[in-house]
Amino acid sequence: MSEISAKRFDMEDIFNALNLGIIVVDAVGKVLLWNNWISKHSGIQEADALNHQLENVFPEPISPAFLTALNNTLTYRLPVVLSTALHRTPLPLYHASEVNQQQTRMYQSISITPIQSNLNESCCLIQVTDSSTSIKREKILRSHSEILKKEAITDGLTDICNRRFFDAHYEMAVADAKRQKHPLSIFMVDIDFFKSYNDFYGHVAGDTVIKQVAVALKSQLSRATDIVARYGGEEFVLVMPHLPKKVAEQFAEKLRNAAFNLAIPHMKAAPFNQITISVGVCTGIPENDSNLLNKADAALYQAKLKGRNQCISLPLCEAEEYLQQ
């Protein structure tokens, strides 16, 4: 810096005008410089900080990671950066309205740089920037990403899993069942006489029925490993691992009863005159990716043929004959 420039500007005024925190400590960690930004966001005035050990200036603890980084810079004379990703709030700094309040610390990005004073002293320059805006932006982007991800795997009408999610989940569930040699149960569910319901009551009412049945089916699930998905139109599919065949058949009846107990009138569905479902279930250790699904669908077909509002269970070894009818 030229002599004219040095006379033109007061360096202390420049440090205090910066929109970032500036702290300088000597070789033993005593504060030599403390700008207005740090005072504003810590509530500690320069006079109360100068010539005191930095770690003793703040009324709250400084993060151990910061103290380690500072010590390393003082000892080895190497710069250190504490990124917001790993060290979000190293110093007890707050936004101006929150100083001296029990609020969340300001997110910070900190760089620690070795410098030499005009008196040939080994010092450290600590620069602190407010990363709150970038963190908020990151959270918003993550939230949007999670929303988009949820929308990609969720059926828009029923808010249960969609066909896309089911296809991926089913493939993994089958692979796991084959590898672990455990049973997997597939339930195919269809709302009985749904076309006649739509024709008589209208499509808006039909959509409401689909949503109500979806809620009733989902309410029967209690394990994180179980899923219910909308397979298409008025058809649903459930995937449930580790169920003995008898338990799977009992659960199918629970599903049927859950829909029946909704007691939704359907005057075009004799003899019950209300909304019912048919359920086809197949349980076993899968041999390939499609056998369980196809055989559960064959069981559903048989439930329809036998009068609807009932459950049919087919074992893996006996389902093929129904597929050929």
Residue 183: the pLDDT is: 93
Q: How many independent structural domains does the chain possess?
A: 2
Indicate whether 146 belongs to any domain: no
**Same domain? 281 vs 196:** yes
Residue 227 contacts residue 158 (beta carbons within 8 Å):
no
Q: Give the model's pLDDT for residue 101.
A: 53
Residue 304 within any structural domain of the chain: yes
169 shares a domain with 310: yes
Mean pLDDT on 254-271: 96
The string of DSSP codes covering 266-302 is -TTSTTTTB--EEEEEEEE--SSSSHHHHHHHHHHHH
Contact 210, 199 (CB under 8 A): no
Predicted confidence (pLDDT) at residue 318 exceeds the cutoff of 70: no
74 and 124 share a domain? yes
**pLDDT confidence of residue 44:** 95
Query: What phi-psi label fits residue 152: left (phi over 0), alpha (psi between -120 and 50 degrees) or beta?
Result: alpha
In tens, the pLDDT along 132-183 reads 887 877 787 777 777 777 778 999 999 999 999 999 999 999 999 998 999 9
CATH of the domain at 86: 3.30.450.20
Residue 149 lies in a domain: no
Domain end, chosen from 80, 109, 136, is at 136
Same domain, yes or no, for 214 and 286? yes
Q: Which residues are catalytic?
A: 234
Residue 223 lies in a domain: yes
Give domain status of residue 308, yes or no.
yes
Is residue 120 in a domain? yes
By C-alpha distance, which of 6, 33, 11, 9 is closest to 22? 33
154, 264, 279, 312, 313 from 304: Cα distances, Å: 28, 19, 9, 9, 13
Q: What does pTM read for this prediction?
A: 0.59
Query: Other CB atoms closer than 10 Å to residue 75's CB: what's the count?
Result: 11
Q: Is residue 268 part of a domain?
A: yes
CATH of the domain at 206: 3.30.70.270
Q: What is the pLDDT of residues 60-71, one digit of tens each?
A: 999 999 999 999
CA distance 149 to 137: 18
Determine, yes or no, domain membership for 144: no
Work out whether strand 184-191 and strand 227-232 pair parallel, antiparallel, or are unpaired. Answer: unpaired
Strands (E), the chain: 21-25, 31-34, 80-82, 108-116, 122-130, 184-191, 227-232, 235-241, 277-284, 311-313
Which distant-in-sequence residues (6+ apart) come within 8 Å of 285 by Cβ?
177, 178, 181, 182, 183, 184
Q: How far apart are CA 258 and CA 280, in angstroms?
A: 15
Q: Which domain holds residue 306?
A: 154-323
